[in-house]
Structure 1
């Protein structure tokens, strides 16, 4: 696996998403390096021309960027925004549509209608789970974790399934879930607020209990999340050992993520 090749694909991606008008008026899209690495890992062992592999990677990353760009649109009502904010929101929506159009174009070039359908199904899944998550329609921790997993990894999972790579499908899902949970935990510890933690609080405590937020509640929520982080970390370790081919770049990145695991969870993983 070549780090230089991944950087080359990333440069091509930046070239595709850099529109001279849009970058003057909206926030430049963030490229998720981990999802790029996972896609590269999935396609690395596939027997197909390198340029075609790149088309698949670029297409999927463009879908991710389009979804992330649409997420940047604030939920504020239009009549509560200043004129320049309204224009910014409209341009952000258009930018997301523009990136979606690029992904269709790239897959049309490789003439793969099946992949277009595969990614379209993943997009539908992501949007459905986002609606359930943000409208607080989820009941139970397992259902909540499943929704977060689908939001974070449906695109990568769909590509893994398309190319029949079940091991990397499971590894990708667990890796991206772990990354999200660590991010949410850090946010909660820093700002004492996180949408995920509020959702866990709602699920964990009865209405009468959750009206008054206590330190004991927060400690319990952190404990619960740490147990999930512990379990996911162990699962990732087991999946990495099952990979038939050594993947040094992915292994290194997973080790880096493990360094971000809270000490309490890390202690249990090491003891396990």
Structure 2
């Protein structure tokens, strides 16, 4: 089996382009940073389900097999969940026998690739600090890399996320502890802050990041009509008025028709 990092514990729209550094926007050249990439999860990516962002079943939640687990330095304690990246095979460093030139693949960051301090970071501990590393779902990896290669050097940059449909909210928990998973976020892809307002109060209440893309409130909101106010990591704020109808139950998911742009 390929020398992947220790199985990601808990998985950014990445585009892999084996063109070296020759990618630029209309306004200015994009800044590329160096990293490495491996793969995990099996040929069908079934081993990537769940993950440290809390998106659950990545097939049904819309992320599919174009996902990656980020090393700790990139994961940023979950603040990077949902962020999107463009990745290029680093032609200056990659062995040409182990990558496919001129091929691209789209990926979203949905998991954490944990460090393995028992291994050196140049021989198995690929996600150890301070390494910047992407452990990709195998189907995504095989769009750009050769299976037996196992690990390849890449270049990466953060890019806006493109998503179909609106932002989605899944509510779990219990009375006085509402845990909301925010999914399918376009543009920045990641959320900086979140507030909730119920139908019986005019005031917005702050929510706190619990883990990954999950935010919690400690108020009694069970069954009440709810609105959410989200601010993404680019500073854009969108209000989802009455997105959760009265009478809701824990475990339900609510899809909006609003999206970040």
Which entry has the higher C-alpha Rg, 1 or 2?
Answer: 1
More helix by share: 1
Normalized per residue, the structure richer in strand is 2
- TM-score bracket relative to the smaller structure: under 0.3
TM-score normalized by structure 1?
A: 0.26
Greater relative contact order: 1 or 2 (C-alpha under 8 angstroms, separation 6 or more)? 2
TM-score, length-scaled by structure 2: 0.27
